Every structure is written in C-alpha cells, then in structure tokens.
Amino acid sequence: MKKALILGLGKSGFAAARLVAGEYDLSAWDAKAEENFPQSDIAELRSLGVDLIFGEEPDSTLYDVIIMSPGISPAIPLVQKAVAAGASVTGELELAYTHCKGQFFAITGTNGKTTTTALVGEMVKAADIPCEVVGNIGLPATARAKYADEKTVMVTEVSSFQLETTSTFAPKVSACLNITPDHLNRHGTFEEYARVKTLVYKNQNSGNFYIYNFDEPETAKRLPAGDNAPVAVPFSRKVKLEFGAFLKDDWLVIRDGEKEVLLCRTDELLIPGKHNQENALAAAAIAYFGGIPVEAIIKALKTFAGVAHRIEFIKEVKGVRYVNDSKGTNPDASIKAIEATNTPILLIAGGYEKNSDFTEFIENFNGKVKELLLLGFTAPRFAKRALELGFPEEHMHFCKDMADCVATGYRLAQPGDTVLLSPASASWDMYKKFEDRGDDFRARVLELEE
C-alpha cells in the first residue's frame, strides 16, 4: 500500500483524510499543536487509521503521495523534497474529481466566483436535479464527492490554489469570470497567476464547454485551442454577441445558433450592481450549456438574493446604511462594491498583505468616498498611496480593530451615507477567514444605538 501524507488539517485536510482513509497508509500533518483542533475530529481520524503528526515537519521523502490543502503552497521545501524523492503531488480538487461519479461545473476567476457559484447552484436545484455546491465557497468538494451519483451536479467554486495541484480534472462546464492581479504573494507574477486560472479548462474536450468573459481582456485572450478543445462560450454585458450570453435592451439573453432565449430583465435581478449582471450572465451560460432547463434558470435569476459578505446590507441606523463586503479581498472586488454604492461612502479598508496595487482602487473612489477608516497590516501602505493620489489626510482614520472602525463610522456618518466594509485585502492578519471579519462587522453594527 502506498504511503500518503496530507498537508494541513483545515476543513480540506479533514475531508480529504475521510475520503481516502484505507486507500493509503495515511498520515496527516499540521504545524499547529493538537489542542487547536476539535478532539472529536482527531479521534475520528485516528479511528480510521490515520497517523496524525503535529508541530515539527515530518520527513516528506518517506511518502509516495503528497496531498495538498489549498492554503499550503506546493513550492515549500517540504513538498519539493518529496517531489525530488519521486513523490506525486495532488490536491483537494483533483482528489474529489477522481473519487466522484457526478459531473462538475467549475467556476473560477478573481472576483464573482462565490455569487456565480451560488446562483448556478440555485438554477440546478430549481430543476430538481441532485446538486452539491462545494469548493472554495465553503464546503470542500472532497466532503461530498463520495455521496454523488451520475445524476449529481457538483457546482464547484475553484480557486487558483486548488487548480495548481490538478492533473486530470476535466469538468463538463468550466468558467473563468475575470483575471485581475491577486495572490501575487503565492504565485509570484501575474502571468503565472493567469496561467494557473486557465488550468480550469486544460483537460476538457470538444464535448465540454468553457464560459468566459468577452469584455475582460485577460480572459478573452486566453482561450482553449486545438481540435479537441472545449466549446468556448462568451458572455458580455457590453456587446450583443452572435453566440453566448449578453444583454439586449436590458434583457439577459442567450443566443445558441438560430435560437435566442430571453431570460429576464436586469431590473428583475435582486442582486445589485453591473458586476452582478455579469455574474448572472455567466451563471445563465454555465447552466444553459450544462443542460439545465431554461425555466429553472429564469426562476433562479428572479429569486436569488445574493450571498453573505458580498455587498450585504446589514442595517440602517439613523439614516446611515451599513454594508458588509468582507469578501472584497482584493482591489478589483472592492472597486465593484464602490461602483454598486450610490451614496457617499465611509470606507473600511485594509487587512492582510497580498502585494496588491491599490492605485486603481483609490482612483475609482470618484469623489464617492468621503472618509477612509483603515485597519490591519496594509493600512499604512494604503494611506500612503491614497495621499499620493490626493485623498485628504484629514479624512483618513487609523483604527485599531473592527469595533473602532464601526464606532468611528457611526460618529462621522451623516444621514444618507453608507458605511461600507470592503477591505481590498485578505483577512488573515486579524481573522482566520473573511467570513469572521464580516461577522465581526455585522455584530458591531447590530450593537449601535438607533
């Protein structure tokens, strides 16, 4: 029996261990101490015969297979030593795909993945087709892979971290919503990050579909090629297409050969902003070319109200709206939140350092951002760039934590303003995940005096 080592015991690591226990002589390692993990989960893995290693790194050259959790880079020495000794490397997404009977709809891109994935899931469910909504959206695909049968659609949000450890992954439908600079601290260069994103269609064939953003240059120029390439289906908010999904006289439309299908009007969408029109077009194309009935697509488009932490209205207090966009973890995502807000903004920004350039984000304030409430590791660099671009120093406020941010916003905001949490940075300097950051914001807002 081959020896396998799982790196990382987060949600993905535990799910992977449960999936392949018994298939390998299996070990799992995490740098954190054992007491940091739920003891019931630890006991379960040990009962499955998994050797658990905590703290000091194991000798990775002793293993035939290295199973990566998405949060750990394949470039670390621990992995490179194993590869040099002849080990193969696989990850959570590849593992789920090879152990699953269902068909995959895989959605990647820098921004919009979660909203689009959730909306596609609602379309599949509206058609009464068995569906698992998994991946980077919160539930590891490995956690549900063995429960899917041939009729199940695995609607999967796919990150660059998950794609870089795939080898045979070939979804029925794949999609890339956009490619803008992100995770450069992991991938090194934008070109490498973009290359990894296109792995979503690498193993597809001419019987599959690849949905891409026609309006976005970095996706439009990176299309699959070759006689056996998947069918490339564009979507566009700006151009009336001969084929694909687009807007026509404020209607969402799909054109497929001689057939033109009207789906719904833009004012019937419950999710705000032009970026969500793009997400809706992408979702409709994914579902349509994935074989989901039009009636189910239309029903979901008209009833889907969005996801938590993405331009999520929390509460109005004394005429001031409080909006949670904690999922704005990079500048491009936060630009979309600014664009979707039609009132003066008090912006909460800053967080973990991903080497992002904040220039374009600040330039897109367009006079709408009246106060900057800065927190986290990137706050000084954010402030420096804002000053260089002419944002008034007297309207910048450094805050020690989220409670301070919300209190400062409450003190400075006027009726008709919006206090917007859209950090343009990851959360890992102060929180385990962006959901925790959004939950903290929500809790502080709900404490405000009416």
Residue-wise pLDDT for 77-128, tens only, equals: 999 999 999 999 999 899 999 999 999 999 999 889 999 999 999 999 999 9
- Does residue 56 sit in helix, strand or coil? coil
Q: How far are the Cα atoms of 19, 23, 30, 345, 410 from residue 50, in angstroms, in the given order?
A: 12, 11, 13, 51, 51
Angle at 334 between CA 331 and CA 336, to 5 degrees: 115
- Count of positions (residues) in the chain: 450
Please tell me the least confidently modeled range out of 58-72, 182-196, 215-229. 182-196
Angle at 262 between CA 261 and CA 264, to 5 degrees: 145
Report whether pLDDT(159) > 80: yes
- Bridge-based pairing of strands 251-256 and 244-248 is antiparallel
Mean pLDDT of the region 420-427? 96
Report whether pLDDT(272) > 70: yes
Digit-coded pLDDT (tens) for 286-295:
999 999 999 9
To the nearest 5 percent, what fractions of the chain are helix, strand and coil? 35, 25, 40
Mean pLDDT of the region 306-314? 88
Measured from the Cβ of residue 361, the count of other Cβ atoms closer than 10 Å reads 26
Run of H or E residues at 385 = helix 379-388
Rounded CA Rg of the chain: 23
Please tell me the least confidently modeled range out of 42-51, 175-184, 374-383, 419-428. 175-184
The Cα–Cα gap between 16 and 12 comes to 6
Q: Give percent of the chain with pLDDT exceeding 70.
A: 99
Run of H or E residues at 404 = helix 402-412
Digit-coded pLDDT (tens) for 48-71:
999 999 999 999 999 999 999 988
Q: Are 134 and 154 in contact (CB under 8 A)?
A: yes
Report whether pLDDT(276) > 80: yes
The Cα–Cα gap between 334 and 426 comes to 11
123 residue type, one letter: M
The Cα–Cα gap between 171 and 153 comes to 10
- Does residue 97 sit in helix, strand or coil? helix
Q: Are 112 and 180 in contact (CB under 8 A)?
A: no
The Cα–Cα gap between 86 and 64 comes to 7
So what's the pLDDT on residue 46?
96
Cα dihedral: 216, 217, 222, 224 (round 10): 50
220 residue type, one letter: A
Terminal alpha carbon distance of the chain:
64
Encoding tokens for residue 399? Answer: 């805050």
Q: How far are the Cα atoms of 15, 71, 142, 235, 293 from residue 281, in angstroms, in the given order?
A: 32, 30, 28, 6, 15
3-state DSSP of 166-194: CCCCCCCEEEECCCCCCCHHHHCCHHHHH
The Cα–Cα gap between 422 and 188 comes to 24
Distance of CA 351 to the CA centre of its chain: 17
Mean pLDDT of the region 147-173? 96
Question: Is this prediction's pTM over 0.75?
Answer: yes
- How sure is the predictor about 332, in pLDDT bands with cuts at 50, 70 and 90? confident
- Bridge-based pairing of strands 103-108 and 65-68 is unpaired
So what's the pLDDT on residue 184?
65
